[in-house]
Structure 1
Amino acid sequence: MINKNRVDKRTGFNGMELLSIIYEFNSRNITKQYQALALVLEELREKGIFEIRRYEDLEFSEKNHVNDFFKREIADKLKIHEFLPEQKTMSNLNFLLCGKDKNYTIPVPNDMNRIIETGIPNTFVMLGDLIYANMADITTGLDIEQVYVYRVTYDKNKKYDFLDPNMGDSEYLEKMTDYVNNRGPRKITRVEFYSPEHKGRSFFAGLFGLSKKSVYAIPGPLDLKFLDKLFKRYKNQSKLIFPSFQGLEWKPSQNIFEYLNRKSLLVQYPYDSFDVFLNFLRTAVNDSRTTAIQMTIYRTEKNSQVVKLLKEAAAKGIEVKTVVELRARFDEDHNLDVAEELKQAGCKVYYGDRLNKVHAKICLVRQGKSKGYVQIGTGNYNAVTAKVFSDISFYTHNQRYVNDAVKFFEELEGKGNTGFELLVTSPNDLKRMILRKIKKSTQDYLRDGKAEVFMKVNGLTDVDVINGIYRAARLGLPFRLIVRGPCSLKLGICGEKEDIVVKSIVGELLEHSRIYSFTYGNGSTETWISSADLMTRNLDRRVEIAVPIVESQPKKQMSKIIKMYLRDSANSYYLTKDGEYFKSKKFIDFSAQQTWLRRIKWKKYI
């Protein structure tokens, strides 16, 4: 943006203005982050769990212990190179050695443990601190005046600039493979360096040819991913972590298709196990009446049971059609492997829309031309993330959903579409549907003063949707919004009638479900689940699905789920007019997540 003198159409800011705002925002967050780190480490030390100490504060015996370890395990792995700013470093920890006439760099291998035992139980020193203390031994013969620790972040978000709507499968595969193989680090987007005094930004900006707004002075250890190692080391201490749980599984004696023949099913991961979906798919594979299985694949785990079941289905002669999205960011390589594995097993693999990522989550089991079962969800078919992501999964034999699912897959295969009865999809209709429902709620509110809108998403950044909310809020329509991540909506600009509450729920589990609910003046409510967040990329540049829950029992379940989220106070952070978040303090806090987790103990099966 800076190089091309572009202005951001959503904010009206140019590149330098945006970079300044980003720098100020990130700097505040970094300060909060390291303050929190200091408090946590102090509490862990006081409770005798573990302690991270500075090298200079170690006892004589400890220094001998870590210095011996340095000489034995570390010294030979550290290589000194002449510093060249254009030379890319993939290390997350680097030393910059500044001499009179020449600078040098030491990239620390990423596989080195960042925390070193001192010889006293549960006492550690940071790797960077240990290297710094032994720097004189490493740099013998070099005239070094100043030493810094730094990290460089590169842009790896390369555009898919080869896409063409008329591109055939083989050409698309070739281009995607070439893209993955040649997507290396690009331009530097950020430099971080350790500096308790916040000095040196101008020096590093000049060194790398960057704006100072892209250089951050960090008041503590760089790259806090080292904390993962500490978590893994101490995660068996039950008083430090949330207790483990097992989501409810499907009752083994109950055939899920026979159940769906009577009524639809709505489950919520991870309180209900992802095994429910695996049971659904396994039942399809083992049912002699199954003629075809169709599903979308966006992100799966390695050695996926879903992929294995699809291969098993193909081996049994069932027609398996999968839409594998190759452009799942940074999972492209894995998805290329998944696509090839499915093809080798006899599955038909489609790559969907060439211009719009297929992000929809839908699986259709067909038993003959018209009969079938369909699953539609808000989360990926990933057994690992399903244990920690909160998502909704809806299963049904209802012919209206089945017919729409058939049409959806036909459209992805390029056969056209005569229109859906229930489903709404992007990039064409989903945004229009949401704006239309907001407008209808507004009209009902103005007539009888009783309408309301609830939305739960991971991000709310689309300008059209936000403006639609503003228009309705100026007239008094109440909005209750749960936005876990980025929220571009501002409070306090819609006048005295504004009634908008925005909160983010951050707890033990990652909130991932997308729910839209519209209550009208006559007391009726429409509740939808979707794969789409209210972000421009989802609504304008992806193939997404939203579906209304029309049957009474699942609809009641959704109503209860929404009420639980609205009631939550323990994990809720509320947005203020100045764009900050605060946590309301109540005498008795209520947690939606912990309530659902406790309820698992009351039942054995779904």
Structure 2
Amino acid sequence: MTSAKKYINRDLSWLEFNRRVLEEAEDAGTPLLERFQFLSIVQSNLDEFMSVRVAGLQAQSKAGYTKTDFTGYTPHGLIQRLMKRTTRMVREQYKTYRELLRLLAKEGVALTTFRELNEEQKEALTEYFKQIIYPVLTPMAVDQSRPFPLLHSKELYLTVVLKQEGQLSQEDEEKTFCAIVQVPSILARTVLVPGRRNSRKLSYMLLEDLIREHIGLLFSGYRTEAVHAFRVTRNSDLTLNEEGAEDLLQEIEKELRRRRRGLPVRLEVEKGIHTDALELLQDELEIEGDAFDEIDGPLDLGFLSKFVSTLPNYDHLRYAKHEPVYPAEFDDEEDILPVLREKDVLLYHPYESFEVVNDFILEAANDPNVLAIKMTLYRVSVNSILVQALASAAESGKQVTVVVEIKARFDEARNIAWARQLEKAGCHVVYGLVGLKTHAKITLVVRKEADSLRRYVHVGTGNYNENTARLYTDVGLFTSHPDIGADATALFNEMTGYSTPHLWSSFAVAPIGLKPKLFELIDREIGHARGGRPAHIIAKMNSLSNQSMIDKLYEASQAGVKIELIVRGVCCLRPGVQGLSDNIRVISIVDRYLEHARILSVAGGGQDEVYLSSADWMTRNLSRRVELMCPVYDPSLRSILMNVLRMNLNDNVKARELQSTGSYERVAITGAPLRSQFEAADIPLWKSIAAVIE
């Protein structure tokens, strides 16, 4: 069997995922303003994909790299296919955008043009331009004395084609001049138009259109021939010499400055752009044909998220508000730690509040009997309560250790700022490990109790981020189990010191031990299947792309193990191929929240074993990151997690099933509709041990 028939290419699979996001924007059953939100997510997803994945492929192609990957593609061949599919997706994206605008206009909200305004409105917006916008603008001429300016990645610009006015020769009259004006991102992309009298409708104008209308004020003595928008996406991946860097922090700061000058990857221009402007951009940016997109509509639909989120009095066009509840296990207790001395507690966000994690750290920071707090931070919210609590704990004399991953893509600058703030407060800060990213999500609290020490641990599948905990589905475990506590201590010793790899009692830790542990569990199920015993694997993750993991799952399928995979995004495994993956089913759920939890269940010969993990089954997670997989020992909590997995597997509203062709089809509704994310909002349902959905 050829590679192409055995595996699905990772990047093509990612495009299929982004198409599923686009389908949510196209779905008439999704509330209107939420459809705009999904359209915005499609844009931000595509921007990151271009600046990282496509940028890497372009670099390989330009370097003459012609070797095929394990799915059978060369970099050049894959780029061509990706760009064709991207162009089709963008056309579909803007078709959806125009349809949504028509529906929004029926609800009394419109994006308008300057010509559609009455004289009073035009005067008001002209005054707004002169007072607020004009002072911020900087026209940048491009000629022999003024070189082509540095264009920032993913920023919006206008090309302005001009002709000089006055007594000129015929030759001079034909000569054109080009200038570039950046649309200031510091200002709102949409400008509210003063309302018409006795009208309740809201009208907005795009910032670039208002600038375009008054662009002549920037170029006195010249006549404007054409004004069109464009944006460039640059290679944003960091290239670090970690081994040779004397100071990793300084090395990353240098790379962040270099990122601004990354090679152009993609050029988007407004449809109908003047040929002189287009030639200038393509020549200066050295953009090839397959990296060029002409867009019929406003560039960068990422602005839609902020636009629709600020519309007043339109809650009927949004999902019903859902307030996360504080976990019931702590309802009758003032403090968290006493509860954890008696039992483990499972959290399921966003249905249960992330505040309990904040309270856990705050309680530890203020408890005089707590001696040490150790924590990993990968992506943190802007005004993080956790960071403030850690700083407070250090200032009070506690031993506070924080492993801050400053190589977290696109959060590098923010994490550097947090690291310095924590250091100033007296925390011991470790900036990740050379050659590895620290992606594990774990907190350890060491407390003196009676004549001994007790360790309290929180392990999660998602980041310690209050904001994303309202938008992502993630699972967290609170425990004081001695084996987990001992392993947590050993893990932090490895990350901060020179400890040799630990013989783990409970954890499996990448980059050395996680993959062998997963293989061990799969091999055990293979043995059960061959011995005629129950053999069943259920795994939930964001991405599956590691070839050897896929091959091991194929082996298990051929041995008769039933395998059910819930993979939100990239999946390089082909299910349902006769003789290869007959026993494997793969679904993806795209809905209101971003499915982010990583959960593994293995039948264990009839007795379910359940694990939480920070890791997807990708090569980078299994071999180039510090990742963590932790068992759930409490039988009642294992039953709860099995309920969560079964809800996902039985979703017949928002689940799509991966076909052997690499495409996805919606799961057919048989019987009552079941939408897993809405079912999960009914906490007693899935937290009841008896509530097993068949």
Aligned to 1:455: 539
Aligned to 1:422: 506
Identity level (%): 29
Partner secondary structure for residue 2 of structure 1: helix
Match status 1:565 vs 2:648? yes
- Normalised by the length of structure 2, the TM-score is 0.79
Residues 205/11 of structure 1: CA separation in 2 closer, same or farther (3 Å cut): farther
Conserved 8 A contact 2:236-2:259: yes
Q: Which of the residues 184, 190, 213 maps onto 2:260?
A: 184
1:476 shift after superposition: 4.3
**Partners of 1:125 and 1:44 in 2: CA distance:** 14
Aligned to 1:51: 110
**Partners of 1:113 and 1:142 in 2: CA distance:** 29
1:241 shift after superposition: 1.7
Q: Deviations over 1:1-41 (max 9, x none)?
A: 12211135334433321211220121122122212222222
Conserved 8 A contact 2:159-2:277: no
Aligned to 1:406: 489
Partner secondary structure for residue 273 of structure 1: coil
Gaps of 5+ in 1: none
Partner secondary structure for residue 61 of structure 2: coil
**Partners of 2:683 and 2:636 in 1: CA distance:** 19
Aligned to 1:10: 70
1:561 shift after superposition: 1.2
> RMSD between aligned alpha carbons?
3.0
Q: Which of the residues 274, 278, 298 maps onto 1:221?
A: 298
Aligned to 1:334: 414
Aligned to 1:308: 388
**Partners of 2:276 and 2:71 in 1: CA distance:** 31
1:433 shift after superposition: 1.8
Conserved 8 A contact 1:201-1:216: no
Aligned residue pair count: 597
Match status 1:507 vs 2:591? yes
**Partners of 2:686 and 2:70 in 1: CA distance:** 49
Aligned to 2:7: none
Aligned to 2:149: 87
1:190 shift after superposition: 0.8
Match status 1:42 vs 2:122? no
Aligned to 2:618: 535
1:303 shift after superposition: 3.2
Partner secondary structure for residue 272 of structure 1: coil
**Partners of 2:374 and 2:531 in 1: CA distance:** 45
Q: Deviations over 1:423-447 (max 9, x none)?
A: 0010112122222322322332233
**Partners of 1:201 and 1:430 in 2: CA distance:** 53
Residues 60/15 of structure 1: CA separation in 2 closer, same or farther (3 Å cut): same
**Partners of 1:582 and 1:56 in 2: CA distance:** 45
Conserved 8 A contact 1:205-1:212: no
1:187 shift after superposition: 0.8
Conserved 8 A contact 1:196-1:220: no
Q: Which of the residues 254, 259, 270 maps onto 1:194?
A: 270
**Partners of 1:182 and 1:280 in 2: CA distance:** 40
**Partners of 1:77 and 1:409 in 2: CA distance:** 49
**Partners of 1:139 and 1:473 in 2: CA distance:** 69
Q: Which of the residues 403, 413, 434 maps onto 2:518?
A: 434
Partner secondary structure for residue 531 of structure 2: helix
Structure 1, 203-212 or 431-440: larger mean CA deviation: 203-212
Q: Which of the residues 201, 204, 208 maps onto 1:128?
A: 208
Structure 1, 270-279 or 443-452: larger mean CA deviation: 443-452
Letter matched to residue 505 of structure 2: E
Residues 469/69 of structure 1: CA separation in 2 closer, same or farther (3 Å cut): same
Partner secondary structure for residue 310 of structure 2: helix
Letter matched to residue 457 of structure 2: V
Residues 235/24 of structure 1: CA separation in 2 closer, same or farther (3 Å cut): farther
Q: Which of the residues 230, 237, 260 maps onto 2:307?
A: 230
Residues 405/74 of structure 1: CA separation in 2 closer, same or farther (3 Å cut): closer
Aligned to 1:248: 325
Q: Deviations over 1:189-229 (max 9, x none)?
A: 11001227999998554553222111112121101122133
Matches for 1:143-542 after TM superposition, within 5 Å: 146-163=226-243, 171-180=247-256, 183-195=259-271, 203=279, 205-206=282-283, 208-234=285-311, 236-249=313-326, 250-251=330-331, 253-368=333-448, 371-412=454-495, 413-448=497-532, 450-495=534-579, 498-520=582-604, 522-542=605-625
Residues 585/64 of structure 1: CA separation in 2 closer, same or farther (3 Å cut): farther
Conserved 8 A contact 1:201-1:212: no
Aligned to 1:575: 658
Residues 68/403 of structure 1: CA separation in 2 closer, same or farther (3 Å cut): closer
Residues 430/367 of structure 1: CA separation in 2 closer, same or farther (3 Å cut): same
Conserved 8 A contact 2:80-2:290: yes
Q: Deviations over 1:31-63 (max 9, x none)?
A: 222122222222212233x11234455566655
**Partners of 1:246 and 1:576 in 2: CA distance:** 36
**Partners of 1:559 and 1:602 in 2: CA distance:** 9
Letter matched to residue 321 of structure 1: T
Partner secondary structure for residue 5 of structure 1: coil
Partner secondary structure for residue 228 of structure 1: helix
Aligned to 2:183: 108
Gaps of 5+ in 2: 1-59, 163-174, 196-200, 688-694
Residues 491/195 of structure 1: CA separation in 2 closer, same or farther (3 Å cut): farther
1:537 shift after superposition: 1.2
